Chain A
Amino acid sequence: MRMPAPIRLRELIRTIRTARTQAEEREMIQKECAAIRSSFREEDNTYRCRNVAKLLYMHMLGYPAHFGQLECLKLIASQKFTDKRIGYLGAMLLLDERQDVHLLMTNCIKNDLNHSTQYVQGLALCTLGCMGSSEMCRDLAGEVEKLLKTSNSYLRKKAALCAVHVIRKVPELMEMFLPATKNLLSEKNHGVLHTSVVLLTEMCERSPDMLSHFRKLVPQLVRILKNLIMSGYSPEHDVSGISDPFLQVRILRLLRILGKGDDDSSEAMNDILAQVATNTETSKNVGNAILYETVLTIMDIKSESGLRVLAINILGRFLLNNDKNIRYVALTSLLKTVQTDHNAVQRHRSTIVDCLKDLDVSIKRRAMELSFALVNGNNIRGMMKELLYFLDSCDPDFKADCASGIFLAAEKYAPSKRWHIDTIMRVLTTAGSYVRDDSVPNLIQLITNSVEMHAYTVQRLYKALLDDISQQPLVQVASWCIGEYGDLLVSGQCEEEEPIQVSEDEVLDVLEGLLVSNLSTPVTRGYSLTAIMKLSTRFSSLNRIKKVVSIYGSSIDVELQQRAVEYNALFKKYDHMRPALLERMPIMEKTATNGPSETVQTNGETDSTILDTKHLPSISQPASQANDLLDLLGGNDVVPIIQTTVPTKPASAGGELLDLLGDLSLTGGPTPTPASSVPMSQPPFLLDGLTSQPLFNDIAAVIPPMTAYNKNGLIIEFTFERSNPNPNIAVITIHATNSTEADMTEFVFQAAVPKTFQLQLLSPSSNVVPAFNQGSVTQVIRVLNPQKVRCYCEPRTHSASYRSRSSEISPFVLKHLQKSDECLSGAKLNIAKLKLRAASH
């Protein structure tokens, strides 16, 4: 059965254009595809070309066309030029490098590279240069090299670019093209010159040997450039009055690479660069393109100081240009040079700051980056004023970057503490919802450490709260400060500004307002409740506080409820400990100075608990242990990896809390015998199978396998490996086995990491853990820890029965308080640096 002749491409396009809806178009295309497929099946040679052309059109519209791949090959093998042309076009558009058809193609291309017609040779070169795989490049490099030496400029320029592709795919073939490069620059044809310069650039960038070899070409390149700028009008190469700007730009780029770090070459090109910089007509874009490239070259090579000043001044002129594109490249290149020629760039500061007000977002972004680069101790006040104003008015896209830029700059150059605190508060009020998670603990640390500013800060923050409670980070910091320094607030002893008169009840009203406000996040509520609790030792309105705390004992928010229950217990059973526990925080020591990782890495909900941990030194506990724990939490020293399985304690032994801490401190050093400072009878901790140990250390240690979880018949074991190319990646393989009589179904292993980490959970081998240890589920987790923060792993299970008893115990519990048996189904041992959750149902 023969098909009717397939419709022409033209008709197809016309038909498709009549489609009124996407669905209609899809239907037409599907119909046509079916026709094309059957035509392909019939091995119809006459219309193959037409069909592939239609496929290519559909491919452009986004419809699948891969079934035409083999047909492209058949077209390439055809004798007709028309067929070849569509075939090669199809090959470039439809084939990818991993196709097996490449093997078949290599032969066709080889034949065509030796074809008698230059256009067929050109097609073959073009295709090889676009999509040749490394195998193809290896097989055909010889032919390319041959064509690179031909006198036919049409083929020679294509061969040069093809050689670039070959070198990119198979760098070791580079040597092969070296002899052919000898005469490339003496070529007159600009196309060949242009592509030759591209080839030389590629070779220089890839190998230092080539770079030093080609340095001898500098005089020749200078001569070509000189001819270009000196030669009069040549209609062939003229673009808006300038002779072949594309070639000039390419040569300037190559000169930059050759002159970088080399005195002689730089010396040899100084003159011509000055000539280009002064002689280029800049009324059109092309002229500016050359000038821009010249400036970049001057800045990169070891050029004379006069020339560098000239270059920066050109950029300064660019900044005032009416063309936005020119302003954009000026900002981009000033950003590149700001490190080396800081003072020269500094001179254009006001122009740069003006660019912050530009309407164009691309320019704004560059101007913002450059402004931050220009901030220093001398201009910080002025620059910050501009940048804070910018933060106020800029698009939401910019706020996060701008805020963190201001934080960094303020930390580096703050002229006074008060200024620093004011600046950060200003950022939090204007762009609070865009700041990073760690800015809250950062600011709290800053405030704690500026002892003389406490009264001032708490007053400012209190006023800010009265104005606006929607900016969560600000509200959190404010709550924390009011909790800590509430007594200073009501005493009204502010020296820095006019003190305000506030009563205790007013303060508590505000904090309670936060607890009920719809604007507050759960974390904020946690901050607020803790603040209220702290005020119980600073204010006299004890009954009111007790009442608030007991109300939240039945909150539906588990976190809040738990806090409230714990605080309630503190009021009832351990009232004698309360003042000591809620004492003011000591000054925090900076632990390290490597950027944001220095401060507590938080993971959303754990913010406040981490801060609470800092209470520890003030708790009536043996100092040595508390210090051990602090070491563990904050110290940067290397902790040896010791598996610390916490045993179940007999019920009679009091002070489990201390034992627990003691066990923990194994990772820091030997445990001193816990002094029984708080005698009380506690139920035993159910800590079977719970381990805590650092997973990462600063040294690349081999981590022994560990049993992460062993309970109710489910055993989860971790084995560790450090990923080879990147030692910051730990590869953790989990093996879960089940010794019970029933299969565990719907087994899901979850893991969570702090934001500075990256976690990749690969798919598990199964979601059923077979009974009687008859098999295991394995899963691979990859954790990237770019900042080399130490972390801890803390497994726990969630199951329906546990959940119903409000299972998640915050670290807080273990730190201060005792808890009832029901509460205890899992426990965190220390700050969650890494939470790994095993969930079994």
Chain B
Amino acid sequence: MIKAILIFNNHGKPRLSKFYEHYTEDTEQQIIRETFHLVSKRDENVCNFLEGGLLIGGSENKLIYRHYATLYFVFCVDSSESELGILDLIQVFVETLDKCFENVCELDLIFHMDKVHNILAEMVMGGMVLETNMSEIITQAEAHNKMEKSEAGIAGAPARAVSAVKNMNLPEMPKNINIGDISIKVPNLPSFK
């Protein structure tokens, strides 16, 4: 079973974290830090497997990682997964991202976290591999996006209108308008500020 999938950059900044077992928010962050610490100190020309950190279960679990340019892709798996198989899976994941984002780079992951999660959800579910066929994953992910877009087109219109009105930059409204002796009090309209 895959226990966790982590992506972080060369400085240890998380770019994606998905845990398939429950940990507290604090522990999750500690695991990311610990994993980064373990993985980042390894040379480029060593093997891609190492024993998991203490927090994620020690030597029961293995960390299988690949390093691409600025990003580390780390899968933490237990003994029921094939090490070499997971290595291929990481490759499939990265290639899929590359196709979805067209030359994927770190910024894509940063700004499209939800999309990355959706792609991953079509590939791995509940810690188990769901689909490895790249074109199938991409088709499904695109179908999702299409549905969202169509909603944004029809159902999203009113929302956009509201936000457009809210964001309108109206000139300061006069609070008191004096016309001769008659003074008209204009109520506060903070929402138009």
Do A157 and B130 have beta carbons less than 8 Å apart? Answer: yes
Q: Determine if B14 and A194 form an interchain contact, defined as CB atoms under 8 angstroms apart.
A: no
How far is the CB of A359 from the nearest CB of chain B, in Å? 7
Once the chains bind, are B191 and A1 in contact (CB under 8 Å)?
yes
Kindly identify which residue among A64, A86, A162, A289 contacts B25, using a CB–CB cutoff of 8 Å. Answer: A64
Measured CA separation A85–B84 after assembly (Å)? 32
- Taken residue by residue from 31 to 54, chain B's Cβ proximity to chain A (1 for < 8 Å, 0 otherwise) reads as 010000000000101111111000
B47:A328 contact, CB within 8 angstroms? yes
A191 touches B143 (CB 8 A): no
A188 within 8 A of B: no
Contact partner, A46, options B132, B148, B159, Cβ 8 Å: B159
Task: Tell me the bound Cα distance from A56 to B28 in angstroms.
Answer: 14
A423 to B84, CA, bound (A): 39
Question: Is A114's CB within 8 Å of the partner chain B?
Answer: no
B87 and A97 contacting across the interface, CB-CB below 8 Å: no
Taking A13-B111, A360-B46 as contacts, is the C-beta distance between A164 and B22 under 8 angstroms?
A: no
B98 interface hit (Cβ, 8 Å): no
Asked if B128 and A85 sit within 8 Å, CB to CB, the answer is no
Q: Could you tell me if B128 and A119 are in contact, using CB atoms closer than 8 angstroms?
A: no
On whether the beta carbons of A288 and B84 are closer than 8 Å, the reply is: yes
Instruction: Return chain B residues, CB-CB under 8 Å to A157.
Output: 130-131
A363 touches B167 (CB 8 A): no
How does the 8 Å CB contact mask read for B130-142 relative to A, with 1 for contact and 0 for none?
A: 1111011000100
Q: Which residues of A contact B20 (CB under 8 A)?
A: 130
Cα-based distance from A324 to B64 in the complex (angstroms)? 13
- Contact of A329 with B83 in the complex, beta carbons under 8 Å: yes
Instruction: Report the nearest B residue to A166, measured CB to CB.
Output: B126
Taking the closest CB of chain B, its distance from the CB of A10, in whole angstroms, is 6
Which of these, A4, A56, A59, A194, contacts B129 with CB under 8 Å?
A: A194
Contact with A along B114-134 (1 / 0, CB 8 A): 100110010001111111110
Interface flag for B100 (CB, 8 Å): no
Contact indicator A57/B87 (Cβ below 8 Å): no
Give per-residue flags for B155-181: 1 if the beta carbon is below 8 A from chain A beta carbons, else 0. 100010011001100000000000000
Given A85-B144, A194-B129, A246 contacting B89 (CB threshold 8 A)? yes
A329 to B110, CA, bound (A): 34
Q: Which residues of A contact B46 (CB under 8 A)?
A: 324, 359-363
| CB nearest to A129 among chain B residues | B126
Residue in chain A with minimal CB distance to B64:
A325
Contacting residues, chain A, for B133 (C-beta < 8 A): 190-191, 236-237, 244
Chain A contacts with B in 92-135, Cβ cutoff 8 A: 93, 96-97, 117, 119, 122, 125-126, 129-131
Please indicate which of the listed interface residues A131, A244, A362 has the most CB atoms of chain B within 10 Å of its own CB.
Answer: A362
CB pair A198 B155 closer than 8 Å = no
Is B167 a contact of A85 with CB atoms below 8 Å?
A: no
A119 to B135, CA, bound (A): 17
Q: Which residues of B contact A326 (CB under 8 A)?
A: 84
CA distance A543 to B9 in the complex (A): 71
Q: Which of A244, A292, A329, A360 contacts B132 (CB 8 A)?
A: A244
Q: Which residues of A contact B89 (CB under 8 A)?
A: 246
Task: List B contacts of A381 (CB < 8 A).
Answer: none
The answer to the question of A61 belonging to the interface, with a C-beta cut-off of 8 Å to chain B, is yes
Task: Return the contact of B47 from the options A81, A86, A292, A324 (Cβ within 8 A).
Answer: A324
A239 contacts the other chain (CB 8 A): yes
The answer to whether A164 and B82 have CB atoms under 8 Å apart is no
Complex CA–CA separation, A122 to B82 (angstroms): 27
| A191: contacting residue among B48, B118, B131, CB under 8 A | B131
Quick one: given A59-B25, A329-B84, are A195 and B130 in contact (CB under 8 Å)?
A: yes
Report the minimum CB–CB distance from A343 to chain B (whole Å).
Answer: 26
A246–B129 touching, CB < 8 Å? yes
Q: Is the CB of A325 within 8 A of B84?
A: yes
B148 pairs with A325, CB closer than 8 A = no
> What's the interface size class on A, roughly?
35 or more
A66→B22 CA distance, assembly (Å): 14
Q: How far is the CA of A96 from the CA of B87 in the complex (A)?
A: 29
Cα A53 to Cα B89 in complex, Å, equals: 27
> How distant is the Cα of A13 from the Cα of B16 in the complex, in angstroms?
14
Q: Is the CB of A80 within 8 A of B155?
A: yes
Contact A126 B82 (CB under 8 A): no
Q: Find the B residue at minimum CB distance from A192.
A: B131
By a CB distance below 8 angstroms, the chain A residues around B48 are 324-325
B22 proximity list for chain A (CB < 8 A): 96-97, 131
Tell me if B187 is interfacial: C-beta within 8 Å of chain A: no
Whether A796 is near chain B, meaning CB under 8 Å from some CB there, is: no
- In the complex with contacts A61-B14, A329-B83, A13-B110 CB distance below 8 A: yes
Q: Smallest CB–CB gap between B161 and chain A, Å? A: 10
Q: Is A293 interfacial (CB 8 A cutoff)?
A: yes
Chain B residues whose C-beta falls within 8 Å of the C-beta of A17 in the assembled complex: 110
Contact assessment for B125 and A130 in the assembled complex, using a CB-CB cutoff below 8 Å: yes
Check if A451 is an interface residue, CB within 8 A of chain B. Answer: no
Q: A154-B140, A285-B87 are in contact. Are A195 and B114 (CB under 8 A)?
A: no
Complexed CA–CA distance, A293 and B22 (Å) = 30
Q: Which of B32, B121, B143, B167 gathers most chain A CB within 10 Å? A: B121
Q: Does B71 contact A (CB under 8 A)?
A: no
B145 CB → nearest A CB, Å: 10
**Does B152 make an interface contact (CB < 8 A)?**
yes
Cβ distance A293 to chain B, nearest Cβ, rounded Å: 6
How far is the CB of B106 from the nearest CB of chain A, in Å? 11
Cβ of B49 and Cβ of A325 under 8 Å apart? yes
Determine the distance from Cα of A253 to Cα of B83 in the docked complex, in whole angstroms.
13
Question: At the interface, yes or no: A89 with Cβ under 8 Å from chain B?
Answer: yes
Are A164 and B128 neighbours in the complex by a CB distance under 8 Å? yes
Shortest beta-carbon distance from B116 to chain A in Å: 10
CB neighbors of A among B47-83 (8 A): 47-51, 80, 82-83
Q: Are A289 and B129 in contact (CB under 8 A)?
A: no
Contacts of A246 in B (CB 8 A): 85, 88-89, 129, 132
Tell me whether B92 is interfacial, beta carbon within 8 Å. yes
Which residues in A have their C-beta under 8 angstroms from that of B10? none
Is A677 at the interface (CB under 8 A from chain B)? no
Q: Are B17 and A289 in contact, CB atoms less than 8 angstroms apart?
A: no
By beta carbon, the residue of chain B nearest A66 is B25
Report Cα–Cα, A62/B36, bound state, in Å.
14
In the complex, A320→B104 CA distance in Å?
35
Quick check: B148 and A85 within 8 Å, CB to CB? yes
| A604 to B: closest C-beta gap in Å | 24
A560 in the interface, Cβ–Cβ < 8 Å? Answer: no
Which residue in B28, B87, B151 is a CB contact (below 8 Å) of A289?
B87
A60 proximity list for chain B (CB < 8 A): 14-17, 113
What is the bound-complex CA distance between A164 and B129, given in angstroms? 12
Q: Scan B86-107; emit 1 where CB is below 8 A from any A CB, else 0.
A: 0111001000000000000000
Query: Which residues in window 343-376 of A have CB below 8 A to B?
Result: 359-363
In the complex, the answer to whether B128 meets A81 with C-beta atoms within 8 Å is no
Nearest B residue to A190 via CB reads B133
In the bound complex, residues from chain A placing their C-beta under 8 Å from that of B163 are 5, 46
Contact of A158 among B92, B110, B130 (CB under 8 A): B130
Q: When the two chains form their complex, are residues B131 and A253 in contact, meaning their CB atoms are under 8 A apart?
A: no
Interface centre among B22, B45, B125, B143 (most CB of A within 10 A): B125
Does A259 sit at the interface, judged by CB under 8 A? no
In the complex, which residues of chain B have a beta carbon less than 8 angstroms from the beta carbon of A249?
82, 85
Please name the residue on chain B nearest to A80 by beta carbon: B151
Q: How far is the CA of A750 from the CA of B30 in the complex (A)?
A: 31
10 tightest A-B CB contacts, nearest first: A289-B84, A324-B47, A129-B126, A360-B46, A2-B191, A62-B29, A246-B132, A328-B47, A191-B131, A5-B166
Q: A10-B111, A81-B144, A289-B85 are in contact. List 5 more A-B contacts (CB 8 A).
A: A4-B167, A62-B32, A66-B25, A190-B133, A195-B129
Q: Report B's interface with A, CB cutoff 8 A.
A: 13-18, 20, 22, 24-25, 28-29, 32, 43, 45-51, 80, 82-85, 87-89, 92, 110-111, 113-114, 117-118, 121, 125-133, 135-136, 140, 143-144, 147-148, 151-152, 155, 159, 162-163, 166-167, 190-191
Pairs A–B under 8 Å by Cβ, sample size 15: A1-B191, A2-B190, A61-B14, A64-B25, A154-B140, A191-B131, A239-B132, A286-B88, A289-B82, A325-B47, A326-B84, A327-B47, A329-B84, A359-B43, A362-B50
